[in-house]
Amino acid sequence: MRWAEREYVGGLTRRQLQALRYIVESIAQQGFPPTVQELCRALGCRSPNAVHELLKALERKGYIRRRGRGQARTLQLTEKALGGLGGPYQVPQGRSVPLLRSGIVLEPQQALRLPQGYLFVDPTLFPEQELFALVVPDDGLRAVGIGAGDIVIARRSEALEAEQLAVAWVNSAWVVRSLHRTPTGWELRAAARHTAPIRFQPPDPDLMVFGYVVGLIRRY
């Protein structure tokens, strides 16, 4: 990847330029930005504080945006940054959405902090919402058009909202089900008749509603 360095040097120090280069190359090659720890190792910084200062400077000078303080994977490049990018790489743009890890999840909040990766979506589709993505683990909602292997985009919420498609953490695993209020509590229901509903009374240490489906990505 080649850079028009002269366009940057006037506004950035050498270290800031190195940091910006690494961020752009990570997004171009992997599809998502680096973590603070990855930046620290790549730049040879002794402390993450040095990386935070570099990120603050890049944001102040208009090269990046940050939605979450102290979280490098929430970085987005600005038009000003892309103006100095050359070479054959296409840098994904849009809003980065964490893709949660599948399988056994011992602590749901940690799954959000340490995702499997990131998806990039058009920010105009889901404005002003905290989002996450999940690969649907089973065919419990196949009858309503959501099957195993599909990717749901969900808005983050732990509030109980009846008659919504919910992503829930149940006994250390993710499920996607329809949430319903009953006379005796709550149920997470599959669309398949042979699948028993998951009944619960909040608070339940083994169950947490984590969000609600707002979009679907299907790979053919």
Task: Look at 129 and 23; give whichever has higher pLDDT.
Answer: 23
pTM over 0.85: no
Per residue in 172-183, pLDDT (tens digit) is: 999 999 999 999
CB of 116 closer than 8 Å to CB of 132 = no
Domain boundaries, the chain: 5-90, 96-217
Q: Distance between CA atoms of 92 and 124, rounded to whole angstroms?
A: 15
CB of 20 closer than 8 Å to CB of 12 = yes
Residue 152 is predicted with a pLDDT of 96
pLDDT band at 89 (very low <50, low <70, confident <90, very high): very low
pLDDT band at 141 (very low <50, low <70, confident <90, very high): very high
Fold matches, 5-90 and 96-217? no
> What does the pLDDT average to over 190-206?
93
What DSSP element (H or E) covers 43?
Answer: helix 36-43
- Domain 96-217 CATH assignment equals 3.30.365.10: no
Task: Look at 174 and 30; give whichever has higher pLDDT.
Answer: 174
What CA–CA distances, in Å, run from 136 to 133, 168, 179, 219? 9, 11, 16, 12
Residue 202 is predicted with a pLDDT of 94
For residue 33, which of 83, 3, 78 has the smallest C-alpha distance? 78
Residue 7 is predicted with a pLDDT of 42
The class level of CATH for 5-90 reads mainly alpha
Residue 165 is predicted with a pLDDT of 98
